[in-house]
Structure 1
Amino acid sequence: MSKFALLFIVVVMGGVAATFLVSGAASFILYQLIYFLNPGARWWSVEIPQLSYSFIAAVLMLFSLGIRYRQYTEVSPWRRQPAFKWMLALLVMYFLTNLYALNPAAHHRFTIDLAKLVVIVLVAYKLLNSERTLNAALWGYLIGATYIGYLATITGRNSGDRVEGIGLVDSPDANGVAAALVPAGALLMYYAWMGNWKVRMLCVFCGALIANGLVLINSRGAFLGVVAGSGLYLLYMIFSRYRGKGQRAMAIVIAIAGLSGALYVTDAQFWERMSTLQDLESRESGSGRVTFWLTTFDMLEDHPMGMGVQGYNQLASVYMDDATRGGVENRSVHSMWFQGLSEVGPVGFAFFLIMLVTLYRSTKRARRWVIANGDNRVYFKMLAIECGLISYLAAATFINQFRAEILYWMVMLVAVAVNVFYLQKVTEEKAAPVRGRRRNQSMVREAG
């Protein structure tokens, strides 16, 4: 048995054991690792039992929630996160779009996949109900992303100027894989900034493999995502008035080290491909990508409620000239935002935007509260998770990732941070006087 097959078996067995012996949150960590390891698509999969490992992890999650539902609900009620209400509304729109989708079979299949993902996200939110479990989930993601970076490194560019064939379950192409790695930038910067020397060494190791993987995959959208999210977080690290003593100097050291490492791993092929970003209408930059985006509005004039999954692909050759656009038969819209708009129309897309807006409002209140209580460390951790989500949204602007696992993971992780660092604390503060009064009343009764 190969070392990867053996490692996978150990991961699965360890995850199952940890679920029963340590915490139900371990089942979600197992789910994360299985997602990145993606055994069904790896060469070593012939050496392991042919089982649906993601299904096993999902069942473990549901079982963990079921046996302690009341306990989890007390600390992580769904109703206190308005973003989940809009996520469910979006899912309902996908089911309604079944009535008029242009490709009913594809739309139904991917709607069921989205429903499963929403269930996973809602269950994981309850299981990740402490800072310890949140950290475990963040590192579960980072370790998984590091494995993809390692896989890209040992595979090398095998398709022109990029790596192909190392895809994830829901993101088989190179651009989707690269987008999945992008949120790691801001998270690694936080842990390198706030962690001890051991954590910093681990961050350097993970960051090197992830950065090298991104360079080899050579995705322009991922590059913009890193610049947007990690760049924003770097500005907070250096210029925020809430940083602690000596943290600016450490932030500058991390920035210099990160930029030096990035320049070291990049090559001429990478910069040649990135240079095409200056003209989104050039053939080298996606064969008129902006035109593909704007054509969505022409389609919506005839299909105001959306066209369902792959509906845009079917209509591309009808609304665009194949001869002048470089081939548009079954072409995708190449943007998460316009993908969602084309699939579920303006109403469903509005639900998605409201979900993001309500999530931002929740995090804004939470960050104000933690600063008022003098917890700068938590403030910057919440910012790192938010910047990870921003990174993914920026990268997915140029690829079809509206229903991607990582996107909804990041939404859930931001919601978990709000719950752990704000909602739970506020609830405890409100409950403390009540408990005090009850204790005093009990003492009075005993004395009487």
Structure 2
Amino acid sequence: MAKFALLFLFLFASGILAALFISPVSAVLVYQLVYFVNPDNSWWAASIPGLQYSFIAALLMLFMLTIRYKELSGKAQWKDQPVFKWMIAILFMYVFMINFAVVTGVHKSFTYEFTKLVIIILAAYKLITSERALNACLWAYIAGVTYIGYIAYSVGRDGQGRVEGIGMIDTGGDGNMTAAAMVPALIILTYMAWMGNKKIRILAIICGGFIANGIVLINSRGAFLGAVVGALFFLMYMIFSRYQRKGQKGTAILIILIGLSGTIYVADEAFWSRMETLQDIDDGGKSGSHRIDFWMATFDVLEDYPLGVGVQGFIELSPNYLPEHYFEGRKVGKATHSTWFQALSEIGWIGFLFLSALIISTFKLSRKTKRYLIQVENYDAYFKVLALEGALISFLVAASFIDRARSEMLYWLILFIAIASNIYYLRFVDPGSKKRKTLGAVGAHRS
């Protein structure tokens, strides 16, 4: 039996026992393990029993929520989080669109999967009720994408200079989608390295190396842009924020130098050649600028189908709305190649407004949390929330060039911000008036 197979089975079984007898958050860690490792698609899959690991992990989360519901509800209440109402509104739109979807069977299948995702997110929110639990989940995410980076290194590029066929189950092995899910970890790692001790910093450098190398091997232009924007967002706050720790600006500059050095070291000629195509807008095939044609076609589709066309509806109808040259030698249509236009085409203007409201409410909640943390002078948590914001921004930038409106990573990143707001802010204010419940909040944050 392969060593990875043994390690996976050990961690899977240990996580189940830990959830049952130690802490319910272990159920979330088990789910993350299965999601990122994607055992059914691993080269060592034949060495493990053919169980439905994802289903078992999800069932474990729901079981732990059920038996500990009363205790957990006192620490995390769904009604206090505006983001959840928008998630449910988006889900209702997908359910409603079953009646109007162009490809009904595919739409039903993906709506079922999306329903499971929303349920998992709601359950995870109640199971992750402490700073320690949140940190554990962030490290589990980092470990998961580090593993994917290692697999990318082991597999290597194919004949087209890309790495395909790896990643989480909801990416379908698409390299761009996998890279987009890896990018946010780099911003979170930056925070972990800054705040951590020497051992944590060494671990962060090792994990960051595998993740960055994996992104380079995948050669995703959208992921590269996402990494640049997300990192600049967080580092600029580190450098120019009024709230400074000792040596903060110097640390930020050092991180920038290490990042640049690391990028130069792992990035090869093939990577830079692909990134240079971003400037070649005259050749849409090289630069990806032809995506604008797909985006504009979405508005034409909506003129005929104001409610949207459901999952895969745009792909099915695209030959009717795009020039013929896009389909030479193709048996299937074209996707929108953008999370925003994907949502617009699948669930129409109403669904798009729900998705926009979800993103806006997430950043509003984050802003309120940061303001409160500044008031109580908990600057460590303040920068953690900034790092989570930067992680979400990096994903949204990368996802602007691929279809990720229903991706697990998008909703997990929103969840991390919601959990941070609960741990650092909502517990210490009156949900109605948003006034501080107790002056003891400062001590509670720092304990």
Confirm or deny a common fold (TM above 0.5): yes
Distance 1:88 1:81 in 2: 12
CA spacing shift, 1:48–1:2, aligned 2, 3 Å = same
- What CA distance in whole angstroms lies between the structure 2 residues aligned with 1:287 and 1:367? 37
Q: Contact (CA 8 Å) 1:288, 1:325: kept in 2 or not?
A: no
Q: Is 1:278 matched up with 2:285?
A: no
List per-residue Cα deviations over 1:154-185 (Å, max 9, x = no partner): 11112421111213200021111101101011
| Alignment length (residue pairs) | 433
Contact 2:231 2:390 in 1 (8 A): yes
Mean Cα deviation higher: 251-260 or 112-121: 251-260
Corresponding residue of 1:66: 66
Q: Which residue of 2 aligns with 1:153?
A: 153
Q: Which residue does 2:177 correspond to in 1?
A: 176
Match of 1:248 in 2: 249
One of 340, 345, 349 as aligned partner of 2:348: 345
- In 1, the alpha carbon distance for the partners of 2:374 and 2:159 equals 48
Q: Which residue of 2 aligns with 1:5?
A: 5
- Name the counterpart of 2:397: 394
Corresponding residue for residue 314 of structure 1: 316
1:357 matches 2:357: no
The question of whether the paired residues in 2 share the 8 Å contact of 1:103 and 1:308 is answered with: yes
Would the alpha carbon gap of residues 287 and 367 (structure 1) be closer, same or farther in structure 2, given more than 3 Å must change? closer
Give distance in 2, aligned partners of 1:167 and 1:423: 35
Larger radius of gyration: 1
- Residue 304 of structure 2 is matched in structure 1 by 302
CA distance in 2, matches of 1:358, 1:35: 26
Cα pair 2:319 2:327 within 8 Å, conserved: no
- Alignment match, 2:444: none
Contact 2:278–2:288 (CA under 8 A) maintained in structure 1: no
Which amino acid in 2 is paired with 1:185?
L
Match of 1:440 in 2: none
The answer on 1:193 being equivalent to 2:194 is yes
Percent identity of paired positions between Structure 1 and Structure 2: 49
- 1:425 aligned residue: 428
Q: Which amino acid in the other structure matches residue 347 of structure 2?
A: V
Alignment match, 1:46: 46
Q: CA–CA distance in 2 between the matches of 1:244 and 1:321?
A: 56
Q: Match for residue 446 of structure 1?
A: none
Distance 1:153 1:292 in 2: 33
Distance 1:317 1:243 in 2: 55
**Equivalent residues in 2 for 1:256-267, closer than 5 Å:** 256-267=257-268
Specify the code of the residue in structure 2 equivalent to 1:253.
L
- Cα distance in 2, alignment partners of residues 287 and 331 from structure 1: 14
Instruction: Check conservation: 1:242, 1:376, Cα contact below 8 A.
Output: yes
Give structure 2 stretches of 5+ with no counterpart. 440-447
Q: 1:417 is matched by which residue type in structure 2?
A: A
Distance (Å, rounded) in 1 between the aligned partners of 2:217 and 2:436: 52
Assess if the C-alpha contact under 8 Å between 1:191 and 1:200 holds in 2: yes
Distance 2:325 2:194 in 1: 52
Conserved? CA contact 1:94–1:344, under 8 Å: yes
> Could you give the per-residue CA deviations for residues 303-342 of structure 1, whole angstroms, max 9, x where no partner exists?
0000000000011111112126766741111111100100
Q: Deviations over 1:223-251 (max 9, x none)?
A: 01101111211111111111212111111
Q: Is the 8 A contact 2:327 2:333 kept in 1?
A: no
User: C-alpha distance in 1, partners of 2:409/2:90?
Assistant: 17
2:158, 2:268 → 1: CA distance? 16
Structure 1 residue 286: Cα displacement: 3.3
Cα distance change on mapping 1:10 and 1:65 into 2, 3 Å: same
Structure 2 distance, partners of 1:176, 1:41, is 16
Distance 1:249 1:206 in 2: 22
Cross-structure match for 2:387: 384
2:315 alignment partner AA: N
CA contact (8 A) 2:337 2:401 kept: yes
After TM superposition, the score normalised by the length of structure 1 is: 0.94
In the other structure, the counterpart of 1:288 is 290
Match of 1:92 in 2: 92
Distance across 2 between alignment mates of 1:254 and 1:143: 20
Q: Retained in 1: the 8 A contact 2:309–2:347?
A: yes
Query: Contact conserved, 1:287 with 1:325, CA < 8 A, in 2?
Result: no
1:205 partner SS = helix
Matched residue type, 1:218: N
- 1:284 Cα deviation after fit: 1.2
Distance, in Å, in 2 between the alignment partners of 1:250 and 1:228 is 19
Query: What residue ranges of structure 1 are gaps of 5+ in the alignment?
Result: 434-448
Deviations 1:10-53 (A, max 9, x none): 11011101101221111111111111110110111111010011
Q: Match of 2:169, SS?
A: coil
TM-score (ref. length: structure 2): 0.94
Cα distance change of structure 1 residues 279 and 315 upon mapping to structure 2, 3 Å threshold: farther
Aligned-pair RMSD on alpha carbons?
1.6
Distance 1:425 1:24 in 2: 23
SS of structure 2 residue aligned to 1:400? coil
> C-alpha separation between the residues in 2 aligned to 1:356 and 1:374?
27
Could you say which residue in structure 1 is the equivalent of 2:227?
A: 226
Q: Which amino acid aligns with 1:226?
A: A
Matched, 1:163 2:163: yes
| Alpha-carbon distance in 2 for matches of 1:260, 1:238 | 19
Confirm or deny that 1:83 pairs with 2:76: no
Matches of 1:321 and 1:177, distance apart in 2: 29
Looking at structure 2, the residues matched to 365 and 315 of structure 1 have their Cα atoms a distance apart, in angstroms, of 43
Compute the displacement of 1:76 (Å). Answer: 0.5
**Runs of 4+ with >4 A deviation:** 324-329, 427-433
